[in-house]
Structure 1
Amino acid sequence: AYNSPLSEYAALGFEYGYSVTAPEALILWEAQFGDFINGAQIIVDQFIVSGRSKWGQTSRLTLLLPHGYEGNGPEHSSARLERFLQLGAQDNIRIANATTAAQFFHLLRRQALDATARPLVVMTPKGLLRLRQATSTLGELADGAFRPVLGDSSVEPESVRRLVLTSGKVYYDIAGHEARESASSVAIARVELLYPFPVDEVRDLVAAYPSLQEIVWAQEEPQNMGAWRSIRHRLEEAASVAAQAERVKFVGRPWRASPSEGYPTLHQREQDRIVREALGVG
C-alpha cells in the first residue's frame, strides 16, 4: 500500500485540460475547503483566467470553493475571493456566490447552456448545505432563472432608510439575527453575481427605495480581503441614484494579515459585531 500525492495543482490542471477538449461538457472541480485552491494557483493564473486573452482558449470549467466564516479558523474559512475578483477583466471569468438551492441550480444550468463559454468560480459555504432557510421549493427549481441580485421582500420599500448590500452566507447571519426585528427600516439585499458586476440590477434596487438615507456593504472578510476593494467603485456607481444617501459604508473585519480568528469565541463575537453594525443597532 502507498499514499498517493495530494496535489490540487495536478487535479485542476487535468480538469482544465478536459474542459477545453470537451467543450460540450460541464466540468466541475470541488475543493474540500476553499483555501485548497492555493495549491492550484498556477493553473488559475496561467490558464483559467488568461487563456482566452493569450490563446483565444476558454472553457466552462466550474470551480466550487467552500467559502464562509463559520468558526473553522484561518485555514478553512476563505477561498480567497479577492484574488479571483482581482483577476476578473475583459469578461474572462464569472464569479458568483449563490445563497439558495434554486439560485445554485439555475447558475449551473446557465453555465452549461450559455452560448458564451467562460470559466465559473462559485463560493459555496458549507453551512448552507444544511441551512433550512437556503432551501428552495420545487417550483423555484423548475421555473425561473438565475438572478444576479436578490432584494428584500420582507419590508415595504417606502419605509426603508438603510440598505444593507451583502453576498453569501453572511446574509443569513444578518437576516436571522435577534436584532433584525428591531431594524424595521433596514432592507437586506444579496449580490449573487460578483463578476461581471450587475451594476444595472443594483442601481434598480437602490432606486426602488425612495427614502433611502444609508447604504452599507457588509462582509465577513477583512477589509483588505473579500469583495469590497474590487467592487467598491461599482457599488458607488450604482448607489449614485440615491439622492439622500452618502457614499457606501463598509462593515466587516478590519484589515488583517490572516483571514479569520483562530478561536470560536472570538469568531462569534466578531460575527455579532458585524451583524449589529450592519443593521445599525447596538
Structure 2
Amino acid sequence: MTTDPIRFKDGGAYERYMGKWSQLAGETFLDWLAPAPGLRWLDVGCGNGAFTEMLADRCAPASLHGVDPSAEQLAYARSRPALAAAGFREGDAMALPYADGSFDIAVMPLVIFFVPEPARGVAEMKRVVCTGGAVTAYGWDMTGGGFPYEALLAELRGLGFAVPAPPSPEASRVDVLQALWDGAGLEAIETREITVHRSFQGFEDFWATALGAPSVGLILAKMGAEDTSVLRSRVQARLPAEDASGQITCVARANAVKGLVPR
C-alpha cells in the first residue's frame, strides 16, 4: 500500500510534537560541536525554527539563515522573537538558494532522512560553506528504533496500517552518515550517538502530543473506535510506567556527524 509523503504545515503542533525533542537533542549536539562565536550559520530544513532559535540563543552568530520547503513552518519561525534578525527562505535541501561559500557552518537538524537524495543534500551544504568551515547534521536513528514515537508507529504497523516513512530512513545510521560525509570529500569527520529523555504528564499527554504528526492524525481519523482503543492500549503497554508523580519519561536516540570543508 502506498502512503502520502510526510508534510509538516502546523508550526504550533510541530513545536509540541517534535520541536521539543529537537531542542533536547540539539543541546547535546551543540555541546559536542562547541562552535566559536561570530560564525555565519545556515540551518537546512529549519522547519518552525525550534533549533534555529537555539543557535540564536547559544552561538552568538554573526548571521543566521534558515531554509525549508514549508511556507507555513517558515511563517512560524519568523514569529519567534529571538529570530527577528534571522533570514529565512523557502527552498530545497538538494538545491540550496545560496551562493558558494556563503556560510561558516551548515547544520541539518532532524532532516537528512527527509532528503530524497541525501548525498546531494550533503554536497549542497559543502558548496555553500566556505573552505575550513563545518558541515554538520543530526537525525533520529530511524532504522534502529531511535525515533521518539516508535512505540506508536510499531503498533500501527502491527495492526496492519501503512505508516508513512521518510524517503531515506537509513540516512541517519552512523555508518551511512560517515559514508555520506566521506563521499562529499569532507575532512576530520566525526560521529556520535545522542540519547535524550523527555517527560510527559502521563499517557494522555504523550498520546495528544504524538497525534501532532500529520500522518498519524490522518490514520487515526479513519480508524474505528474499537481499533483506536486497541491501539491506545498497545501503545501504553509499550511505554515506561508512570512514576510517582504520574509522569512518563520516554527515550529517543539520534546520530550526529560533523566534517570540515578542505582548505
Give yes or no for TM over 0.5. Answer: no
Structure 2 length normalisation: TM-score?
0.32
- More strand per residue: 1 or 2? 2
Q: Which has the higher contact order (CA 8 A, sep 6+)?
A: 2
